[in-house]
Amino acid sequence: QVKLMESGGGSVQAGGSLRLSCATSGGTGRSFCMAWFRQAPGKEREGVAVIWTPTSMTYYADSVKGRFTISQDSAKSTVSLQMNSLKPEDTAMYYCASYYSTSMCPLLKAGGYNYWGQGTQVTVSS
């Protein structure tokens, strides 16, 4: 059973930075892609960034492009999300997700991912 555990959330003022980490454990083989999603109260879960684990190729939502960076440390089985120039609208619960399959990566579509972490809260004040 694959387990994902997020860490690094917190409160920061607008313009500040946070780094989220997602530690993976369990399962066999390697995920095909991993992603970060976020969900604010009363809103749908939104895809933020994706990384293809075999190649480290990345893809971002337009709302975070140029501010957020997704990366992986294969040796430590972790995926990180560096968030810079944070805005109040970035406030949400952030989740990491992994996709294990030989099919196409679901990109920023939440329904396509196999495993999810419990989430970590990010709060950005103005």
Residue 125: pLDDT band with limits 50, 70, 90: very high
Residues 18/92, Cβ–Cβ less than 8 Å: no
pLDDT in tens, 100-121: 877 789 999 999 999 999 999 9
Among 35-39, 54-58, 80-84, whose mean pLDDT is lowest? 54-58
Those residues whose C-beta lies under 8 Å from the C-beta of residue 24, and which sit 6 or more positions away, are 2, 3, 4, 31, 34, 77, 78, 79, 98
Q: How far apart are CA 89 and CA 6, in angstroms?
A: 20
- Predicted confidence at residue 33, as pLDDT, reads 92
Residues 15/83, Cβ–Cβ less than 8 Å: no
